[in-house]
Structure 1
Amino acid sequence: MDTFLALPLPLWGGIIGSLLTYAVTYFRERRKLADAYRAPQREAVAQILAAANELKVSANDVITHSRQPILEVFKAGTSNDAATLAQRNFELALLEVERAFAVGKLTVVHPQSYRQMILAYERYSTVRRSFDTPELAQRDGWKRFMERLDGQLQQLDADCAVLVAIGQDHLSPKQGLLRTAARKGVQKQVEDSKRAATETKGP
C-alpha cells in the first residue's frame, strides 16, 4: 500500500485519466448496446400497428361497398368487381397482420411488451377465426359479418395502443437520466391536459 501511494504524480494523473475515460466510455457504449437491443423491438411494434391500421381501413372499405346496392344502369351504387376487390384487400390485410405478429413473436423480448403483444394477437385471432364462416359466400353475409367485426377491430386498436404506450417506457431509444426525466415530465403534462379537457367537456 505504501508503495502504491508513493507513485509519482504524473503516473497518478494517468491512472485517474484512464479511469475517467473508461467510465465515460462504459456508459456511452452501454447506452448504445441498450438501444441496439431495443431498436428491432420498436420496429416490430411499429409493423404491428401499421398492419392493424391497414386492416381497419380495408374493413371500412368493405363495409362501404356492402351497404351500397349493386350498380345498375343510371343508378348509383357499387359494382361486383369493386366489392370483390375490397374483400380481397381485406383478406390481404388480415395476412399482413398475421405476418407482423409473427415477426413480433420472433423479435419482442421485453416481458411486458411481449405479454401485451400476445393479448393483441389473441384479439386478432378472434377476428381471423370469425372470418371463416359460410355466410361470407353471400354479399349480405359479408355485410352482417363486417358489422359484427367493427367492435372486435376497435378492441384490437385499443390493444395496439396499449402496446405502443408500454413501448414508450421500455423500448424507446436509451437516453440519459436528465432527458428521460424531461420526457416523462412532458408526458405527464400532456396527460394532465387531456384529463383537464375531458373534465371541462363533462359527460
Structure 2
Amino acid sequence: MTRAALLVLADGRFPAGGHAHSGGAEAAVKAGRVTGAEDLEDFCRGRLHTAGLVAGALAAAAVLGVDPRELDAAAEARTPSPALRRAARRLGRQLLRAARASWPCAELDQVAGWFPKGAHQPVVLGLAARAAGLGPSDAAYCALYECVSGPATATVRLLSLDPFDATGVLARLAPELDAAAESAVGAARRAATEGVGVLPAASGPLLEIMAEAHAAWPARLFAS
C-alpha cells in the first residue's frame, strides 16, 4: 500500500469534477441556513453523519471487494433525490475516467462497461482506492473528507468567507470524522459477509429537498 496514492486521490486538484459541486451549500446559503463559519460547521456536521457516513461505508465496501453492481444499487436506494442521483453518477463517471488514467486496471475498465453513464461516486471512489493499493479506511476517509471539504470550499466562494475560518471548521470536525470513518469501515466489513443491506442508510431529508429545488434554478454557480 502506498500512502502517496492517498494524497493523490484526496487532492482537491485531482480531476474528478468535485470542484463544480457544493454539496448542498449553495442552496443552504441561498435559503439563509448558512451565513458564516458557525452555520457552516453545523451544516458540515450534518452532512458528515448522514451522507458522509453512507458514502464512507460504500467506498470502504468497494475496497473490500463487495460487488460494485450491488453497491451501486445500494447507493441508488439511499439517494431519494433524482437530482442527487444524477450528480452522483456524473461525478462517478468523471472520477472513473481520472482513476483509469492514474491507475489502469481491468476492474476499472469492467466497471466503465457496466456503467456507461456512471456509477455512484462513492462506489467509484472505493474502486479507485482499491486500484491504487489503498485500504478500506483510506477510502472511507477520502469519502468523508470530500463530504465536508466540498461545502467548506464552496462557501468561501459563495459568502466570501475567510478561508482560514473555513479551514478551522474542517479542523474542528476532525475528531468526528475519525469516528465516522471507523463506523463506516465497520459497516463495510459487515457488508462483505452479510450483504449490502447492513450498510448505513442515514438520511438528510432537507438536503434532498434543497437539491431538487437547486436543480430547478435557472442560474447557479454550482452543479449541485
TM more than 0.5: no
Higher helix proportion (structure 1 or 2): 1
Q: Which has the higher contact order (CA 8 A, sep 6+)?
A: 2
**TM-score, normalising length: structure 1:** 0.30
